A = this chain, B = another copy of it.
């Protein structure tokens, strides 16, 4: 059976770690909800309890917190084929500290808490899928935060550009600064310096 593009994308993603029968695929898809957000709209805001975990099928979103001074700190840019959400809030039913805002018109597939739990009962293989997904996320998270340490902002910028050439052109310099962890002014200086080199 031919699936629509977004469903095919998520099935391909899941199939990297576990094999699903046609029946299981259909069952899984039935547990998902389609969500669309326009550029500048919020998928989620701080204070809310996360109702869904998301898989992005199209577009780009930024995940960020505001510190005590109201300055944004972007923890990730999520594009097609990425998973996103606030797992802490989703799991513990606590108010989130995060905002997730679309930087482009975006399409996502969400799974609700009820369906997430149901999923493990109905298709226990998904314990394995998520075990591996979380393990890989943990590995890259640890690597990233350990790699970033002891690099200057300029080095972190060069590294980001090298690693995510497709993302760097889709976001503003200001958002990149909030991700790298510096002020937009200093980001501007770095970019003009690096381009001069």
Contacts and interface: CB of A to CB of B under 8 A. Distances in A.
A126 to B, nearest CB: 9
A163 B88 CA distance: 18
Interface string A83-100: 000011001000001000
Given A127-B127, A128-B120, A73 B149 contact: yes
Given A128-B127, A150-B73, A145 B145 contact: yes
Given A127-B127, A146-B65, A149-B73, A141 B139 contact: no
Interface residues of A, number: 30
SS class, residues of chain A in contact with chain B: helix
Contacts of A42: none
A186 interface: no
A19 to B, nearest CB: 15
A6 B120 CA distance: 31
Contacts of A138: 87, 134, 137-138, 141
A141 B143 contact: no
